[in-house]
A and B are shown apart, each in its own frame.
Chain A
Amino acid sequence: MNKTLTKILWLSLLFVAACATDSLAGVRDSNLYWAPECVTVGGKRVDTLLNFIFYLTGAVFLLTQVVYIYYLVKYRKRPGSKAYYSHGNNKLELIWTAIPTAIFIGLVIYSNRLWSELHSEPPADSVKVDIVGYQFGWDMRYPGADGKLGKVDTKLYSMENKFALVPDDAAGADDFSSTELVIPVGKPVHIYLHSRDVIHSFYVPEFRLYQAAVPGRTIAWVWFQTTKTGNFQLACSQICGSGHYNMKAPIRVVTQEEFDKWQAGKNAAKAAESQSAAATASPVLVVQRNKAEETP
């Protein structure tokens, strides 16, 4: 018994030492033993379910362990003690089969209802973003002035066509790209997930959201609505190669005004870029460049 006590003491010391070595304390400084603050509407409903399961399983755990440990102490071997001869009790078997079954049925109904509600049709006024994972980073694509995302054909991913846009779809011509995910607070955001190479996953703990991006496919059922502005990080949470650990992208949840301003700036930049691209692609310039290449 003494040994156990020494061990506990030693471990507590270790824990204090470990806490003292905290030279990296970063953004979060409170509530470190639970989930980070949730900032999406759906996420809060996930939290409610999670807390419900936590209290349910916590109660079951405490109840079973208290009974179990009580039995272990009470029925420990003592001089003259004799075990009770019993092979079981069918009534008890039925009871402890029926009760967990009922609880699990309730839980599965609750879970699957929420699951289908979280994956309901995204609202029509959602901000649409195409998110493309690759080894090892993320590209986002927003609809341009027309409000429409250009069509994607996953066979077309290449260095030149990094969003695999279908060339003859006009809706894609004005789409602009971004390396950060910027979203207006309070507005539904509908994301389309793609991958250029291997399976990646979209994971933002503060959103309570995980969804794999599968190469060759479009995952189009994820949408969420934020409740709070702030800076977050998009993490890849599916092992995707040597740079996996660092495959992240900034997320900024901003006010509608800030978002509009950012979007307008992006649209203007895209327009300017398209013009200069059109100019570059003009026959005259092509001819000139060909000539230049020919000169030794």
Chain B
Amino acid sequence: MSTSVTTFVPESHADTHHDHHHKQNFFFTYIWSVDHKMIGLQYLWTSFAFLLIGGLLAMGIRYQLAYPGVEVPLIGRLLPSTIATDGVILPGGYNMFFTMHATVMVFLVVMPLLIGGFGNYLIPLKIGAGDMAFPTLNAMSYWLYVVSGIIIVVSFFVPGGAAAGGWTAYAPLSSTAAYNQTQLGQTLWCLGLFINGLSSIAGATNYITTIINMRAPGMTMFRLPLSVWALFITAWLLLLAVPVLSAAAAMLCADLNLGTTFFAAQGGQPLLWQHLFWFFGHPEVYIMILPAMGLVSEILPVFARKPIFGYKAMVWAMVAIGFLGFIVWGHHMFVSGMNLTLAAAFSVSTMVIAVPSAIKTFNWMGTVWRGSIEFTTPMLFALAFVSMFVIGGLSGIFMASTPVDLFVHNSYFIVAHIHYVLFGGSLFGAFAAIYFWYPKMFGRMMSETLGKIHFFATFIFFNLTFFPMHNLGLGGMMRRIADPTVYDHLRALQPMNVFVSWAAFGMGLSTLIFLWNFIWSLRHGKPAGKNPWHSTTLEWTVPSPPGHGNFDHTPTVYNGPYEYSVPGMDKDYLPQDEKAPEGARLEVH
């Protein structure tokens, strides 16, 4: 498969780095590259750009909630007239902010970063393949993502402004121009998601084919690193869930522009949208967390110097999450007007899906138990991931309980919950992964000092931002309101909103430390060598960064991915492609 790749960049060999002599091939190397590693990096860089946009939108949201009606300093007067007047954010503009914040973060940051970035970069390297099964499709997948991102961001500047009905786009608000007054913006939102969906479907097809067909000799399914398992299951979820969103977006677009009434009150059914959206939307939650779980499961054993605890339990837990993820969507709709008995049924499946998540948590704890733990930056983020995921998982039990959902539904409690899972979970996992695989990607280490400052700043500000949101939600604060002070019962909570906003600004600034570290280390980081973390998986057996085709010759795999501290061995890790030395007492499982 990799032969088609090398024809594009003929000078690349397995051991050469990307050096200046590639200049004549700049276009094929950096722009229309079909090398899975370059595509992975393209996803990474692009998702950083969108992370900045999504982050700025979050800052706008927090500014408005702390200081409603007060001119935004510095940039207020630069905002389009659909968003602000005289520098003061309009309620409609605020609605665009949170709608686009979520849309950007979900579709243009977390999915592309974890799945596009790490999926592309790591899958072939970890299974011992030269590239993806369909390299050109892979490149197309990336460029569709870029196009979808441009469409979504440009929608801010069209007449009427961007979509403003929430990222969940409940119909008939989203499907009726007279109600939403952002017909063009909402149409572009549909188009953007549709194209983004094509990108995901193409990517998923590629991952599944690659993982099934292109594993190196000896790399059985149960010798796959957990990150590959996680991405494999995620790809199935994408393949089955995303087409539903694409179809729903097309129907929404038709309702908006062609006069159809799929989701209209008369002649259609508004709840149909919610069923379609959440049939995609709940697997989507797992699409965003499973890769992070996989990456973290990869990092914990390395720095605990221990095999992952319960490898097979981890795999089956993810498989269970994958299946159950498709029958829990109704828990977003307990109080939507859906049949009450159906709500009770969805509450059962929702409680059931919490079990595999609990299993994973206990296994992570079992992994650090009796380890020899080294607190590097990637390890700190991975360890924090577990704790934050526990908080996000436990707060989910409140909503899963139907009567409690009567109270906390659509309140700030759920905003807290989703951010503990999506930021404390997915993004902490992504940060851990970036610090961990950066040496492989760029051949240099990121600064540990800056990394630790970034970790502690993010960890503290993250909790100061999102933990009080639980209290705001219990206090009765609705999500998606532009000005909480119009409500008597929320005015008393305003100091808490101000506090949360300042913590959020601190978190925004702490991300700049990370970006600085990322860029600075490209030139100034310590050279990494092949295997700076003494890890066992195949990507660490090739140079950093690996050349085209990845492996000089196809590796043969003899062991599972987590053979650390094997008794009877001199070194404390056994790479997957090395035969166990005489006297090593491997546990057969």
Contacts and interface: CB of A to CB of B under 8 A. Distances in A.
A239 B489 contact: no
Nearest to A101: B355
B488 A4 contact: no
A107 B351 contact: yes
Nearest to B456: A4
B348 interface: yes
Interface string B463-496: 0100000010011101111110111111111111
Contacts of A54: 398
A19 interface: yes
B496 to A, nearest CB: 7
Contact of B489 (A28, A89, A212, A238): A28
Contacts of B136: none
Contact of B495 (A18, A96, A112, A233): A18
Residue in A18, A78, A83, A101 whose Cβ sees the most chain B Cβ within 10 Å? A83
Given A72-B373, A244-B481, A64 B354 contact: no
Given A50-B398, A104-B355, A216-B266, A206 B489 contact: yes
B457 A7 contact: yes
Given A75-B368, A238-B410, A11 B464 contact: yes
Given A83-B370, A114-B403, A246-B486, A212 B475 contact: no
Contacts of A154: 265-266
Interface string B143-178: 000000000000000000000111000101100100
Interface stretch (B336-344, B432-440, B540-548): B336-344
Contact of A248 (B348, B410, B487): B487
B410 A84 contact: no
Categorize the interface residue count of chain A: 35 or more
Interface string B339-381: 0100110011001101100110111011011111111000000
Interface stretch (A165-173, A194-202, A258-266, A282-290): A194-202
Contact of A107 (B397, B486, B498, B585): B397
Interface in A193-246: 195, 197-199, 201, 203, 205-206, 208-217, 219, 221, 232-233, 235, 237-246
Given A88-B310, A245-B481, A22 B495 contact: yes
B401 A107 contact: yes
B100 to A, nearest CB: 13
B337 A29 contact: no
A158 interface: no
Given A75-B372, A197-B179, A242 B164 contact: yes
Interface of A: 3-4, 7-8, 11, 14-15, 18-19, 21-22, 24-29, 32-36, 43, 45-46, 49-50, 53-54, 56-57, 60-61, 64-65, 67-68, 71-72, 75-78, 81-89, 92-93, 96-97, 100-101, 104-105, 107-108, 110-112, 114-116, 118-119, 135, 154-155, 195, 197-199, 201, 203, 205-206, 208-217, 219, 221, 232-233, 235, 237-246, 248
